[in-house]
């Protein structure tokens, strides 16, 4: 199983976030979860080894285990991320969206 986190960080937006593993895990590592940042792994699915093979093996790819894929702060990166997923990535993607739906 491959994992890809093109950005990281999240914001608590509801009571459901109280038990979110992202905030607890980051706290243990001394990482500020409120900082939404593009990661060094952004281009990981399309990076190649010296022999020309992809660094990320083909197969199921789990996306966004350290963020919410739809978080507003990532809007500027999302189109390029979709482009990587739809046109360049030779793997299935499972989007793990950690988003609490709030009744307005």
Instruction: Give the domain range for residue 67.
Output: 2-95
Output the pLDDT for position 92. 52
Output the pLDDT for position 96. 47
Is residue 102 domain-resident? no
Is residue 86 domain-resident? yes
Is residue 103 domain-resident? no
60-94 in b/e form (b: 16+ CB < 10 A) is ebebbebbbbebebbeebeeebeebbeeebebebe
Output the pLDDT for position 3. 87
Is residue 41 domain-resident? yes
Is residue 101 domain-resident? no
Residue 77 to residues 14, 35, 44: CA-CA distances in angstroms?
25, 15, 14
> What is the C-alpha to C-alpha distance for residues 59 and 18, in angstroms, rounded to an integer?
33
Output the pLDDT for position 90. 53
Output the pLDDT for position 103. 37
Output the pLDDT for position 30. 93
Output the pLDDT for position 100. 40
Domain tally, the chain: 1
With a cut of 50, list the residues of the chain below it in pLDDT.
91, 96-104
Is residue 33 domain-resident? yes
Beta bridge partners of 92: 60
As given in the structure block, the two tokens for residue 10 are 């999240």
């Amino acid at each position: 199983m491959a994992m890809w986190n093109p950005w990281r960080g999240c914001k608590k937006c509801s009571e459901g976030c109280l038990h979110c593993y992202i905030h607890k895990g980051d706290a243990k590592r001394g990482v500020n979860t409120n900082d939404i940042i593009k990661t060094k792994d952004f281009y990981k699915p399309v990076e190649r080894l010296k022999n020309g093979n992809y660094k990320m093996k083909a197969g199921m790819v789990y996306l966004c285990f350290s963020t919410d894929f739809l978080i507003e702060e990532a809007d500027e990166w999302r189109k390029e991320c979709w482009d990587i997923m739809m046109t360049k990535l030779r793997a299935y993607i499972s989007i793990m969206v950690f988003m609490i739906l709030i009744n307005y």
